[in-house]
A and B are shown apart, each in its own frame.
Chain A
Amino acid sequence: MASTTTDNALQSMTVREALRAAMAEEMRRDETVFLMGEEVGEYQGAYKVSQGLLDEFGARRVIDTPITEHGFAGIGVGAAFGGLRPIVEFMTFNFAMQAIDQIINSAAKTLYMSGGQMGAPMVFRGPNGAAARVAAQHSQDYAAWYAQIPGLKVVMPYAADDAKGLLKSAIRDPNPVIFLENEILYGRSFDVPTDEDFTVPIGKARIWRKGDDVTIVSFGIGMTYALEAAEALEAEGISAEVIDLRSLRPIDYDTVLDSVRKTGRCVTVEEGWPVGAIGNHLGAVIMQHAFDYLDAPVINCTGKDVPMPYAANLEKHALITTPEVIEAVKSVTYR
């Protein structure tokens, strides 16, 4: 299924394959990079992201842990203090709540607390947000939580090329990086550059569609709804510019503000809860720095303010939907 075009050397890959390739390439490149987590080795990854890595790199560098998130996250941070570059995989970020003290108090703050003497060059990665029908305890989006923490970098890719390029950047980055994946996106295919030196810089947004009437800002799986909405709106004569933030810390404010100064309108789209959302923050930044350009209030499209229900019909309503994005755009464009 892999197809390489001679012109731009692209290969169709799933997000899962892209993430795996990024880890394998970086582990070949740097002996200090290793992977640890639950079922990453012999089981070949709970979601098959690490499939084949144990065979290539051995049990020294692909470490199966017991089910003990707090403990193995802390051990990973300690190994990073000791000069290694761990990739700590959480089976999902829901389970990282057991480990959040080590992520924030130990990984994120040590560089500052030590006056720059030592820090935690490492990646915490795994699927984040809702999957399908797994209900409240397995369906939370932590984007806004981690994006709030100074000392962390936070990325949340949508497409496979960004997943690969950003994961490679994250592994090379000298800071702790939270790498938020999405189970539903794992199986989607995108064109990915074949060049092993291809990376995507952390902190730069990506403009997916140029447009004049409204700016839609999203990230991660929210991009699915943003792009679908933009397509539908185009048919109705509304030209939407769609920006994928890709990084949530640092955020590429300039790309967002430049776009909003052009379109005068902004809708944000994310799967997480509405209180303290990334969209809230963007709305405040836009108000502060581009108020005179706004022709309508910024609207935040988010997940509903409820724990994720199990029932299929309720779950559908709890999530953000493309029609909601379309409605929000029509509202800010007064259509």
Chain B
Amino acid sequence: MAKRPLADARKADTQELLALYRDMLLIRRFEEKAGQLYGMGLIGGFCHLYVGQEAVVVGLEANAREGDKRITSYRDHGHMLACGMSARGVMAELTGREGGYSKGKGGSMHMFSREKDFYGGHGIVAAQVPLGAGLALADKYRGTDHVTFTYFGEGAANQGQVYETYNMASLWQLPVVFVIENNQYAMGTSITRATVAPDMVARAAAFGIKGEVVDGMDVLAVRDAGARALAHCREGNGPYLLEVKTYRYRGHSMSDPAKYRTRDEVQKIRQERDPIEALRAVLIEGDHATEQDLKAIDAEIKDIVNDSAEFARESPEPPLEELWTDITTDAEITQDRKE
């Protein structure tokens, strides 16, 4: 089957297309490397890879401005790279080292960057949804036109606090874009086994929230939907919802037995709908880039990823004093009596 044409590639400029390609490829290669390091025992615990879903964050970040915020779940590596956080800092957090974004104290699921307005990295499914609305409340309170992207999965969308948040975000007209990354599986439970109401746009509409379904394998479609959502929020029209249909190629986490779907299903989507391959085809076929140009990008990405992995292996473990820091901001306050 032929590659799906991207929404309106002819209108895109070459530099923008190349940037989108580069950003998606960085996430893909970074995650593949993280998977390798996990296999080598350098990354512990839970590690949820974003492979297959790259077009979602890259498309949405394309129109973000300084001061806009983002918050997501534990499948967060892609979001961090897409908003400009350093590959070194993310990878070193995965290996639990001092050079990581949280000095090794957060790990894969709990990373933050005040500088890049990335508010986590949250391990409790759907907890980030009211938090994201709260970030938006802070922006509205201050009278800014900043917008918060609040990402969650279609699995999280069955949590009650999501609807509590829809209600208040709509009631108070908060500038928040709810982004449901619908990758069809909540861990191992397909959406058809989890709900009789799979229409995420209809659910939001019940709270007066405008929304649309987006092809999450088409980075330009995501970009354009994101622009509509941001404009809606910036103009003071309250929240907006994007149900982005995407697919994760890897397991829920690194310890996924993959018994809930067939290899053929995964292979078929990889072959027919891969967002990076689709954009690559547009770049070549539209004469935006040559094979040589793309090889140069591949090499650049490979260097960044290898450098991050090297940094993550060489960065020292956090000093033991770190156990006792950042509990409260007053360092002297601790329940422990060290006599």
Residues of A within 8 A of B (CB): 34, 60, 63, 65-66, 68, 70-84, 101-102, 105-106, 109-119, 150-151, 153, 174-175, 203, 249-251, 253, 285, 289
Contacts and interface: CB of A to CB of B under 8 A. Distances in A.
B333 A74 contact: no
Interface string B315-339: 0000000000111111001110101
B137 A151 contact: no
Contact of B102 (A73, A83, A114): A114
Nearest to A67: B164
Contacts of A113: 102, 105-106, 110, 112, 120-121
B167 interface: yes
Interface string B51-72: 0000000000000000001010
Contacts of A105: 122-124, 127
Contacts of B102: 113-115, 117
Nearest to A73: B130
Contacts of B326: 111-112, 114-116
Contacts of A112: 105, 326-327
Contact of A250 (B106, B112, B123, B335): B335
Interface in B102-143: 102-106, 110-114, 119-124, 127, 129-139, 141
Contact of A110 (B103, B120, B165, B335): B120
A250 B334 contact: yes
A70 B130 contact: yes
Contact of B335 (A65, A76, A251): A251
Given A111-B328, A150-B335, A65 B168 contact: yes
A75 B329 contact: no
B116 to A, nearest CB: 11
A78 B329 contact: no
B171 interface: yes
A71 B168 contact: yes
6 contacts: A70-B160, A84-B141, A110-B120, A111-B328, A118-B114, A175-B330
A115 B171 CA distance: 34
B106 A115 contact: yes
Contacts of B327: 111-112, 150-151
B152 interface: no
B178 interface: no
Contact of A74 (B112, B114, B134, B337): B134
